[in-house]
A and B are shown apart, each in its own frame.
Chain A
Amino acid sequence: MTARTDTPSAPRPAGWRDWLTTDTPQSRAQARLGRAWAGWTAFRRNRLAVAGLLIVLALVIVAALAPVLAPHHPYAQDLNNRLMPPSAAHWLGTDAFGRDILSRLIHGARLTLMIVALVAATAPLAGLVIGTAAGYFGGWVDTVLMRITDIALAFPKLILALAFVAALGPGIENAVIAIAITSWPPYARIARAETLTVRRADFISAARLQGASSLRIILGHIMPLCIASLIVRTTLDMAGVILTAAGLGFLGLGAQPPLPEWGAMIASGRQYVLEQWWVAAMPGLAIFIVSLGFNLLGDGLRDVLDPKGD
């Protein structure tokens, strides 16, 4: 906020910064960008949140460039070099088939990112639709939808996910489905609460008077207002999603061998943990770092986007 300076002698006043921080924006786009900039400056002050953002960005980059970054092929076996400790040739050691653990972790980043992206694209969306519909229509629609949500909220998530995977069969897709099915209810609650705060607002009545249909009002006016809190909640939940997916993988119900999924890698290193600790330790560390990244990022986003929560 101190960017505004009264000294005209400043050599090069940051033009774009002034443009962003002006209190008289000339266009809608400028106002939006200005708000985004204000949010970013607030976010930037939280160093832990920035660290979280960097971790998540690193995950994306590693996943995108996996074949380039990985020193070895993730499935390349070398039975002469089984269970080798970390060394110059294999920075994080090798597993029971002599595969390079670092390379498998790098390729596993793709699986983790895929799981996170799929769950983030489905569960909050389902919750958003259910929550906004319940909040906007009220009456019996609200009662029925929220009863179902409350019931689903009272279920134990991990155990149900286990049972779903048992029914659908082990595999990474089914793990994603099971996680998504069990994680939509909180989003519906949040979306409903947000909807209730704006349902009676004048701009909604104005839109309705102009003849906008319910669908149009929900899609165009209500849903955008729910996005901020949903993003925060989704980011915070992603750490839990990563941990659940890894847990399913660890139990042998998620990604199947030889896929380099981090939870499954821990499971395969389990029998060697007392002697060749790195086989199980390294994938766990990767899970830890990535889910910490999401937690830090979500925590920082909550402060910026949703300042109501203390």
Chain B
Amino acid sequence: MPTLKRGLTLLVTVAATLLGLLLVTFLIGRVVPIDPVLSALGDRANADSYAQMRTQLGLDLPLWQQFLRYVGDVLQGDLGTSVLTSRPVLEDVLRVFPATLELATVAAIVGAVLGIPAGVFAAVNRGRWPDHAIRLLGLLGHSVPIFWLGLMALLLFYAKLDWAPGPGRVDVFYEGMVDPVTGLVTVDALLAGETDIFWNAVGHLVLPSAILGLYCVAYIARMTRGFMLDQLRQEYITTARVKGLSETRVVWGHALRNITVPLITVIALSYASLLEGSVLTEMVFAWPGLGLYITNSLLSADMNAVLGGTLVVGAVFIALNLLSDLLYRLLDPRAR
């Protein structure tokens, strides 16, 4: 019974949050100084077709009815038509989303692989110089403009040292050579058995995902440190030490294992922020994902595309927040 009630509360919360998001995008769409009728018809429309289009778009209805209509459209997967590509926005978004997903996933792995050991190391050396050094590195990471770091990385590793490939997902030569099955170039290349393209795509991923991953290293490290400190105070740690276990076993085997659950939620949360943070990274690395799609639409005042993209990022963001919450409850018996 309590589980059911809690599940229901959760559902209502999520529904309210999504509705709030819809309200915000709807209102943004209303205050835009772009006439949706003219952007659909072109500015040489006569008065009759103008009025007809206005009725067709529902713009003569009261605001709350327009909002209900908008919610209904979105629930049916209708995000409007992009002025720029003259395709349905949802279709466009689904086409570009895998690129962002690929980038954010690798970046989250980078963040976890660097952040967790750094946090453990800082906790074990609490108050000594490695702790301070990791804290300072975290502050540095939080202070650097990510798009600038991307440009500088391209300058150094691509232009000067020639260690990394340039912008884009694969070399121009390979562009469009594998069929987009999943939309993830690395996976598609493997499916097609094209190892050359796979390695090329991996090479292209290294720089942008490393830069984007730095974004969440500091956060993951700080949270890991906090969780570890809580664990290292516990009595079972003392017991393990008294038993004569090596410090490595105690820290990495016992303490770390007990913080897996909160860590998973932290990684899920940073994954959500990575999806969002990829906007600027995609711009710098000409990465054809959702972020680049939104910014390009913004610059050409294609509001349907902007708001549709915002809505999708927002929904995924909310879903990941929810998922981390659910995972926590499922995996941690104390939270049940």
Contacts and interface: CB of A to CB of B under 8 A. Distances in A.
A247 B298 contact: no
A169 interface: yes
A46 B276 CA distance: 34
A161 B292 CA distance: 15
Interface string A153-168: 0111111101111111
A152 interface: yes
Nearest to B317: A156
Interface residues of A, number: 49
B144 A288 contact: yes
A291 B271 CA distance: 24
B136 interface: yes
A281 interface: yes
A163 B310 contact: yes
**Chain A interface helix/strand/loop/mixed:** helix
Contacts of B307: 163
B28 A164 contact: yes
A266 B148 contact: yes
B267 interface: no
**Chain B interface helix/strand/loop/mixed:** helix
Contact of B303 (A158, A166, A270, A299): A166
Contacts of A296: 139
A193 to B, nearest CB: 18
Given A292-B140, A299-B139, A310 B21 contact: no
A274 B321 contact: no
Contacts of A159: 276, 279, 294, 309-310, 313-314
B155 A274 contact: yes
**Which 3 residue pairs of A and B lie closest in terms of their CB atoms, listed nearest first?**
A284-B148, A292-B143, A151-B20
Interface of B: 13, 16-17, 20-21, 24-25, 28-29, 31-33, 135-136, 139-140, 142-149, 151-152, 154-155, 159, 226, 229, 272-273, 275-277, 279-280, 283, 294-295, 298-299, 301, 303, 306-307, 309-310, 313-314, 317-318, 321
15 contacts: A155-B24, A156-B317, A159-B279, A160-B314, A162-B279, A164-B28, A243-B145, A251-B298, A274-B154, A277-B155, A280-B151, A287-B145, A288-B148, A292-B140, A296-B139
